[in-house]
Amino acid sequence: MRTIAISDIHGHARTLIALLEKIHYEPTQDRLYLLGDYVDGGPDSLGTVRMVMDLCAQGAGNTQVLGGNHDELFLNWLDGKEHRLLP
């Protein structure tokens, strides 16, 4: 079983797809860690979030997802909170 860690996708769902294809990612055999910053900066933050959700569903428990600071900023914005991480 391989361990794969990926971070800082920043809305680049197509790049994430290409990377997973290039490394021949196998959801039921590989352990995948997604380390945050799925949104903000790229052309498809929504598609990236959907893809992360799909990867979790496919991973048969082998996929772990952590949120990053850009994800936290986005969630704070959705909740109407200030656009900063620090109090």
- Distance from chain centroid for Cα 9: 6
Alpha carbon distance 76, 62 (integer Å): 28
Q: What is the pLDDT of residue 18?
A: 97
Angle value at C-alpha 37, between 31 and 30, nearest 5 degrees:
10
21-28 own/partner pairs: CB under 8 Å, 24+ apart: 27/55, 27/58, 27/59, 27/60, 27/62, 27/63, 28/58, 28/59, 28/60, 28/62
Q: What is the pLDDT of residue 85?
A: 55
Taking only the tens of pLDDT, the chain with its 87 residues reads: 899 999 999 999 999 999 999 999 999 899 999 999 999 889 999 999 999 999 999 877 899 999 999 988 888 888 887 665 555
